[in-house]
Structure 1
Amino acid sequence: MAYDLEEQEQLATLKDWWKKYGNLVTWLLIIILASYAAWTGWNKYQQSQSMQASQLYQELQRAVQAKDSAKVQRAAADMQSKFGNTAYAEMGALAAAKSAFDANDLKAAKTHLQWLIAEGKEEEYKALAKIRLSGILLDEKAFDEGLKLLSGDFPASYAAVAADRRGDIFLAQSKIQDARTAYQAALEKMDERNPGRQLIQIKLDAIGAPAKSDA
């Protein structure tokens, strides 16, 4: 009988606690379950997006190999509009820009590179896009725009290439001392085993040693 009484007291206490806190516990449980469901759904959505983007990127690569520039441009545009938050869209933009450049469609090449610079998440892809776009701007004699793109910090793997491109732009402007400084910076940032050092050194040799008027 004592056990029954104790059990009834515990039940009464539980009922009293549930009366006070039951709704709060229920809502907390609903929030937790909803959050888990949303997290699971988001992961599945991300996986689906990545898979579809991967398939479209493969199509783009096949079009590149077939030198079907029009198909490359369509695939890249689809990737940017539908899967713009994936790395595949960024890689596709680089591939499409090169394809357009090879086809002498500089407008399309610039559009893809500008999209990547503005919307890209991967810093190294964005750095490469800036360097490639600055090359087009150099050809177009848009020197100030090119230098603006190359200002600021670059990832270590692209810092030397960016400095070299700045040197090219300065040289095109006949700013010899600025070009020399940029090329020297490129050499300092470049690994000694990199074969690209030889080309930069050739540029420096062509400029010659600083003249008194350059000092």
Structure 2
Amino acid sequence: MDTYRTEEEQLEAIKRWWQENGKFTVIGVVLALAAVFGWRGWNAHQVERAGDASLIYDNLLQTDQLIERDPTKRATAEHLATTLKDGFSAHSYAHYAALILAKYAVKDGDYAAAETELQWVLDQQPEPAVKAQTQLRLARLEYAQQNYDAALTALQPLLDGAAAVQALELRGDVLQKQGDFPQALAAYQQAKAVNAQQQSPLNSPLLEMKINSLSAIHAAAEE
């Protein structure tokens, strides 16, 4: 405003500017405030929904633990799990709920239903750890159904990731069923080596037994 010579000229210039631009300034301020409060409201809504999902999932876990003693609790557990899937599909709690439903289906011998639940989890693009465990369970389903080639294919992406130890051991199981004892032994030994490099190695006496058994078979074959 220093370019104007008098206070009257400065005041008149401000009035003209406000008449020409004031409406747009007010609209801009209103939109900015709406965006800020809208974002805060959305965040608050998300926090509330996460809290609801957490509460339902806690109830699901408690109910799931009671099923062994009281099988009638399974209907309640299934209802809670379905509620999470239907209402909170973007949350990890819903993904864990689907894994529990898959577990029930496997117990029933309904592998098709179990596969449907596991595939649903993968379709939600879960976090990497959940994705790896879901893929591993899918591979176990293929193994249980004696779809050995399909199981090996499902395991392939897991052989150098966080689930590598479990994936390699399962790969050894599949190869052994296919009669490829040398490759099965190699998979078991690799699983043991990878496990030893972990910060918190898994305690797997069964893996050691598999290695010892196949090592004896391999030694006998060489003789």
In the alignment, structure 1 residue 160 sits paired with structure 2 residue 165: yes
1:161-180 maps to which residues of 2 (within 5 A)? Answer: 161-180=166-185
CA shift, 1:127, in A, is: 1.1
1:20-169 maps to which residues of 2 (within 5 A)? Answer: 20-67=20-67, 68-153=73-158, 156-169=161-174
Secondary structure, counterpart of 1:141 in structure 2: coil
CA shift, 1:84, in A, is: 0.6
Give the letter for the 1:50 counterpart.
Answer: A
- The answer to whether the Cα contact below 8 Å between 1:146 and 1:169 also exists between their aligned partners in 2 is yes
CA shift, 1:106, in A, is: 3.2
1:203 corresponds to: 210
Q: Distance in 1 between matches of 2:177 and 2:80?
A: 36
- The answer to whether the Cα contact below 8 Å between 1:69 and 1:100 also exists between their aligned partners in 2 is no
Residues 55-86 of structure 1: CA deviation (Å, up to 9, x unaligned): 22123223312313333223222211110111
Where in structure 1 do 4 or more consecutive aligned residues deviate above 4 Å?
Answer: 153-156
Query: Unaligned regions of 5+ residues in structure 1, if any?
Result: none
**More deviation, 154-163/43-52:** 154-163
TM-score (norm 1): 0.81
Q: Distance in 1 between matches of 2:130 and 2:9?
A: 68
Match of 2:187 among 162, 182, 187: 182
- The answer to whether the Cα contact below 8 Å between 2:56 and 2:84 also exists between their aligned partners in 1 is yes
Give the letter for the 2:49 counterpart.
Answer: Q
Q: Distance in 2 between matches of 1:96 and 1:153?
A: 23
**More deviation, 133-142/92-101:** 92-101
CA shift, 1:103, in A, is: 4.1
CA shift, 1:7, in A, is: 3.4
Q: Identity percentage over the alignment?
A: 29
In the alignment of these two chains, the number of paired residues is 208
**More deviation, 83-92/112-121:** 112-121
Residue 22 to residue 175, structure 1, CA distance change in 2 (3 Å) = farther
- The answer to whether the Cα contact below 8 Å between 1:124 and 1:155 also exists between their aligned partners in 2 is no
Give the letter for the 1:44 counterpart.
Answer: A
Query: Unaligned regions of 5+ residues in structure 2, if any?
Result: 68-72
Give the letter for the 1:179 counterpart.
Answer: A
Give the letter for the 1:184 counterpart.
Answer: Q
Secondary structure, counterpart of 1:174 in structure 2: coil
**More deviation, 53-62/14-23:** 14-23
Q: Distance in 2 between matches of 1:153 and 1:108?
A: 23
